[in-house]
Each structure stands twice: as structure tokens, then as C-alpha cells.
Homo-oligomer: A and B are copies of this chain.
Amino acid sequence: MGVVVDFGDSGKRKASIEGLSNLVKADLDRVNKTIIENMQSPVALIPQLAGHLIAAGGKRLRPMLTLGAAALCGYEGERHVKLAACVEFIHTATLLHDDVVDESELRRGQESANAVWGNQASVLVGDFLFSRSFQLMTADGSIEVMRILSEASAVIAEGEVQQLITTNDTETDESAYLEVIRGKTAKLFAAAAEVGAVVAERPKAEQQALESYGMNLGIAFQLVDDVLDYSAQQEKLGKNVGDDFQEGKITLPVILAFRRGDDEERAFWRRTLQDLDQQEGDLAHAQALMAKHNTLADSLDRARHYAAIARDALGLFDDGDAKQALVDVVDFCVERAY
């Protein structure tokens, strides 16, 4: 039925990822089992550290996309389970490396792995999980899947490097920012969904449709994440309050506020995000400037644009539970900002 939720309306059904969770529940249990089995190593610190992050949960959104896409494509084999675990391993490896790069102390509402075991172990266990992911793909044996996921890994790294460069650069514009989030977030969503169609051996058009679904969902997801970092909803994420501000990350709410601001405001953004000279009250002032220029709401508008593309990308597929579940994920990603 591919329902498009009207956000302007009141009294509407609240979107959630429960539809997808229920759809893929049995498969996801097997993915979790595959993950646990494959993070084992004679070097005990590896399952210990990896388990800390993996057990902490997270939504398993990316592997669920692989499973959901496979369901949408009517796939009835076994390969999607192992490949969904690959996707989660790549994601976990990038989280471990991200937390080192960001010097984060919290992840998923608990102490981050680097805070507990140090940066060095986080780098190396990330490398291990990344390698293990390729071992699993090799066992699967599909060159096409390896092409998709190895390209995704390279693009993720490019996106992260690009983000490192744009961090603290208040001149960053919206398109440079979009390139960053395409790489660091959306590409893996795209690959995760595409792999579901590839194992089902669906026509190229359907593979591309799912890739586009994942890519646009991922962009919307990251835009909303960046809004939440400045909004009252952020405690729900289990993230530090105002993390992005503190690190001088240039996200869309900032980019719009900088461009819409006057000289004094730009001086404020330069001092706080470029020079990282931050004082008490600065975060509140940043939020006030965003409110003044309506940049959180407008960033959400941008997110809704990509969400709409993601929904339409599924137009090729027959209506049914699987399609509805994937549409609900899009709606949920945007609605969680409210």
C-alpha cells in the first residue's frame, strides 16, 4: 500500500520499525547468531571488545535492510543471513574507528569501547571485524556482493576522511556536506538493501531500486541524526548532548545558520566551531540561532525530500507486508525527530 504519512496531520498512526522487525525476526535471530559465532577468536580481547559494542544493541537497522530487501524480492534461500552479518560487521568496524576518530566516550548509551579498552584495541578490533566480514563474503562466494560491499567500504572511508577535512570549516556548503553523509552513512544503507536484491537474483532495475531506496533513506536518516544532536530529543539516542557542536562538526543545521546569519553570528560560529573556543552558554546560543533561522525545521524538510525519494524507489515492487515494512522505516527515520 506504500502509504505516505502526512506529517502535517495530527492523529496519524505513529511509524515504527516494528513492521520490519517482525517481518525479519526469525532471520535476524540467525544473523545475531552468525555475528556471535564469527566474532570469536583465540585472542579473548577481540570477542570481549566486539561483544561490548554488538551486545549493546543498536537497532541492527542495516542488516534488517538486507533481510527486508531479500523478503521484498521473495528470496527463499539462506545467503542473506550471512551477508546481513557482513553488513553489521562493516558497520561495527566503522563505529569502532569513528569513536577513535571522534574521541567519543559514549556509544549507544554506554561507555564506548575506546573509553574502556583504549584507542589501540578499538582500531585493531575494527580491522579484525572488517577482515572477518570479507572472510564471510568469501565463504558466500558472490563476486557481485563483494564488489558492492568492498566499494561501500571504500566510499565510507572516503566520506569519513572528507568529514575530517570539513570538520571545523564553517565555509563548508550544503553539497559538500551531502557528499560526506552519502559516503559515511548512506552508502552502507544502499549496499545493505542492494545485497538483498542481488542474492534473490532479481533484475538489475530492482537491484538499483533497492540501492536508491537505501541511499535516500540513509541520507534522510543522517540529516535527522544531525538535527537531533541539537534538539531536545537527543537523550533518546543515548548520545552525549551537543556532541557535534563540541567537536566542531559542520552539519546542515549549522551550515544553514551560518549562511543565513549576520557578521556577528558568523563570528560566533567561527569562534565556537572553527577555533573550538567554546564557553558556557555557547551551545544554548547556537540553538537559539538555529531557532531564529529555522534551520532545524528546514533541515528536516530536506530529510523529508530524501525520504520521499526512498519511498518512491519502491514503486516497482508489489504492495504487501515487506514493502509496507520498508516504507515504515523511512517514515520512522523522519518521525523520530518529533
Please report A residues at the B interface, Cβ cutoff 8 Å.
Answer: 41-43, 45-46, 93-94, 97, 100-101, 119-121, 123-128, 130-132, 134-135, 137-139, 141, 143, 146-147, 150-151, 153-154, 156-158, 160-162, 164-165
Given A134-B153, A138-B143, A146-B146, also A125-B43 (CB < 8 A): no
Supplied contacts A43-B158, A46-B161, A146-B146, 13 more A-B pairs, CB within 8 Å: A43-B165, A45-B165, A101-B123, A121-B161, A123-B123, A124-B161, A125-B161, A126-B127, A127-B130, A128-B154, A131-B151, A135-B150, A138-B143
Q: Which 8 A-B pairs have the closest CB atoms?
A: A131-B153, A128-B157, A131-B154, A134-B150, A127-B157, A101-B120, A135-B150, A138-B146
The residues of B that contact A119 with a CB separation of less than 8 Å are 100-101, 119
Chain B: minimal CB distance from A192 (Å) = 16
Chain B residues positioned under 8 Å from A135 (CB to CB): 147, 150-151, 154
* Given A135-B147, A143-B138, A143-B141, A157-B97 contact (CB < 8 Å): no
Q: How far is the CB of A183 from the nearest CB of chain B, in Å?
A: 9
CA distance A154 to B138 in the complex (A): 13
Complex: A336 Cα to B118 Cα, angstroms: 35
* A144 nearest CB neighbor, chain B only: B138
Q: List 8 A-B contacts (CB under 8 A).
A: A46-B157, A121-B164, A128-B158, A128-B161, A135-B154, A138-B146, A138-B150, A139-B147
